[in-house]
Amino acid sequence: MAVIPTYVSAGTYVKGTTNSTSCTPGLPGSRVNGNLLIAVAYTQDTNTSFTCTTSGWTRAAAFPSGNGSMAVFWRYVDGAESAPVIAFGATSGQWQGQCFQYTTTKATSPILGSSFATRAANTTVVLAGITTTQLNSLVLTWIGVANTQTIPTPSGYTGRVANAGTSPASSDMLADQYLAAPGTSTAISDTITSSGWGVVSLELLAIPITGRAQSCIIP
């Protein structure tokens, strides 16, 4: 029977505007040792040096772009975790971030592939599907928008989190899609109010299926 990476909970959604140098997404509640924590940060600025100054967090990917920038960090729950302080340098635009908890992921190196896109102002969030390479992978997709709105759950995905904030106006959405066999996830195409946005997709790896030798006694 397949063991599939599964969404558990989300931490506090954080957001802000100019003159910030970092963000600290809150940890999800009801954490269980061995579960995976994933923190995502997005700014409207070009950044090349996303770092997490909190012990135990690993950067999975960073995406600098002239239209905005994103980064993803992860760690396992072990009872000693602290909320990630994600540093990105002084900003002149909006920033936001959130942390999520997943269970039954691979116990080492749980993120294999990733893809992203950003735009300064556009009415459609678009991102090609990512190609998975393992059995029972879960493709996680996060969208951050510099506007207050309800971000639609992408077609073919299961919505997990949606925030529409004010002061400053900002919104985010988390969804995921299960692929039983290696393949390509559904491409993202979401209609939004014209705004700066960022989108990232990740392949979360499942606990590997291992074979079990069986003995056969012939009388």
183 part of a folded domain: yes
30 pLDDT more than 90: yes
Q: Which pLDDT value is given to residue 58? A: 97
Helices marked H in the chain? none
- What confidence score (pLDDT) does residue 90 get? 66
Quote the pLDDT of residue 216: 39
pLDDT at 8: 98
Left, alpha or beta for 208 (phi > 0: left; psi -120 to 50: alpha)? beta
pLDDT digits (tens, 9 = 90+) for 62-107: 888 778 889 999 999 999 999 999 998 766 678 899 999 999 999 9
Least confident of 49-53, 189-193, 207-211: 207-211
Number of domains in the chain: 1
Percent of the chain residues topping a pLDDT of 90: 69
- Report the pLDDT value the prediction gives residue 213, as an integer from 0 to 100: 42
Say what the pLDDT of residue 214 is: 42
114-156: pLDDT as tens digits: 999 988 778 999 999 999 999 999 999 999 998 899 999 999 9
pLDDT band per the 50, 70, 90 thresholds, residue 29: very high
Residue 209 falls inside a structural domain: no
Is 100 a domain residue? yes
- Which pLDDT band holds residue 47 (cuts at 50, 70, 90)? low
Total residue length of the chain: 219
Question: Does 201 have pLDDT greater than 50?
Answer: yes
Q: Which of 13-22, 44-53, 82-91, 180-189 has the lowest mean pLDDT?
A: 44-53
Considering only residues 43 and 32, tell me which one the structure prediction assigns the higher pLDDT: 32
Asked, for residue 216, whether it belongs to a domain, the answer is no
**Per-residue pLDDT tens over the stretch 48-64:** 678 999 999 999 998 88
211 part of a folded domain: no
The 10 Å CB-count burial string (b at 16+, else e) for 152-181 is bbbeebeebbbbbeeebbbbbbbbbbbbee
In this prediction the pTM is 0.92
| 162 has a pLDDT exceeding 50 | yes
pLDDT (0 to 100) of residue 24: 96
Indicate whether 1 belongs to any domain: no
How far is 72 from 99, CA to CA, in rounded Å?
A: 10
Does any domain span residue 210?
no
> Exposed, middle or buried: residue 188 (CB in 10 Å: 0-12, 13-18, 19+)?
buried
What confidence score (pLDDT) does residue 166 get?
A: 82
State the chain's mean pLDDT as an integer: 90
Tokens coding 76: 């396992």
The boundaries of the domain holding residue 30 are: 6-204
User: Can you tell me the distance from the alpha carbon of 40 to that of 59, in angstroms, rounded to the nearest whole number?
Assistant: 10
